Amino acid sequence: MDIKQVTVIGAGLAGCEAAWALANRGFKVRLCEMKPKKYSPAHKYSGFAELVCSNSLKSADTASACGMLKEEMRYMGSVTMQAAEKTKVSAGGALAVNRELFSDAVTEAIKNHPNIEIVYDEITEFPESNTIIATGPLTSDALAEKIREKCGEALSFYDAAAPIITAESIDMSLAFFATRYDKGDADYINCPMTREEYEAFYNELINAESVPLKAFENLKVYEGCMPVEVLAKRGIESVRYGCMKPVGLTDPRTGRRPYAVVQLRKENNEGTLYNLVGFQTNLKFGEQKRVFSMITGLQNAEFVRYGVMHRNTFLNGPQLLDKNFMLKCSDNVYFAGQITGVEGYVESAASGIVAGINLAHALMGKPPLLLPDTCMTAALSKHISTENKDFQPMGANMGILPALEDRIKDKKLRYRTIADRGLNDLKKALESQL
């Protein structure tokens, strides 16, 4: 297929990575960016790859989930990792950057690439073919509406998510598997609470500190997505008759129905991650850790994602996208960045690399990039494309990677072993494909 002109919409981290990957493979790229003509409510700087809410790209340690992902991106020729290295500032074990210098470095690299043309304009129509849409969680209203027309109700305009914890951090001597009235398989982990435990938890919940909503995030929330702390303030029995109702459950330790129960549901098929059912929340992350650790069996809970409640335009990836980030049944229309259901700066950038390489491969008649299941990039690609009726955005975490064949109790050694395995597998895979 002799197509050399492609389009990337959005010059955030994902869009810049996608444009860079395509341009480096000989394609002429039209990179469309509406700044500085028009800004989203969150953006202020005119440069590309603007970091809005933090200057940290998380841990630099490759034995951490995000550190591992950044190393994978370096293997794949990441432009944002090159810019981050040039503009990093001291931040202990994290990779933090000077925001403006980082943006300037990415912008300069993109503008100086001979195969990239910058088009400063808002795109308001859905593309027909050979395009990557990387417009982020604050996609402009006009384009978001066109995406909605194309994708239907599988486009969300807000993110109401409950926390996710690792299965291994749940104290199963206190929690138990069961479904209400023993219907179906015992897929839920149940955390029973006495009256005294519930009342202590309730008092901390209603007095915990929430994240202030920005003007553009002050959305009307549907009843089913109401933050648990807001529901709790309706009265002490409100959550006990809501997401913490104990009906149909018997605590095997006592033989009786608990006073209240928190249910945990599998977040992935492997059963390594569980989410707190009905615990959508807008509490600050530290408060979530403090208050939710009061739940029976969760005193040592390891949170891989905290709950969030904010505007976040994202697709229901499992319905719409394949693991290559292509819109199913489209003529080479791909998505990248947080709009796909990955969460975080680094994750967004990584998805842009994958989308860019895969569009290039498709147009060159080559098979899609085959990533080993053991690497973090593949795990995120799998998350956004694997059937999940309760799909929510996900960031990099060790819980979405395949478990080791041999169990390692020491957490640091386990994570190091998992990371080394994934990075070695990815190196070998890329040698034969890139």
DSSP assignment of 82-131, as one string?
Answer: HHHHHHEE--TTEEEE-HHHHHHHHHHHHHT-TTEEEEES---S---EEE
For residues 51 and 99, the answer to whether their CB atoms sit within 8 Å is yes
Nearest to 274 by CA among 167, 145, 366: 167
Helix (H, G, I), strand (E, B) or coil at 328: coil
- Judge whether 34 and 12 are in contact, CB under 8 Å: no
- Region for 221 from its dihedrals, namely left if φ exceeds 0, alpha if ψ lies in -120 to 50, beta otherwise: beta
Tokens of 66: 């995000």
pLDDT score, position 396: 95
Q: In this predicted structure, what is the pLDDT of residue 311?
A: 65
Any idea what the Cα angle at residue 221 is, between residues 218 and 223, rounded to 5°? 160
Chain-centroid distance of CA 286 in Å reads 19
What are the φ and ψ backbone dihedral angles of 161, each rounded to 5 degrees?
Answer: -120, 145
Q: Are 349 and 13 in contact (CB under 8 A)?
A: yes
pLDDT at 299: 97
Mean pLDDT by 10-residue block, N- to C-terminus, for the chain (434 residues)?
82 98 97 92 86 82 96 98 92 84 97 97 95 92 90 68 92 93 78 97 96 59 70 94 93 95 86 90 95 97 86 85 96 96 94 98 95 98 91 90 92 95 97 86
Is this structure's pTM higher than 0.85? no
Residues in CB range of 37: below 8 A, 6 or more apart: 120, 121, 122
The helix/strand/coil state of 54 is coil
Domains of the chain are 5-157+311-431 (3.50.50.60), 161-307 (2.40.30.260)
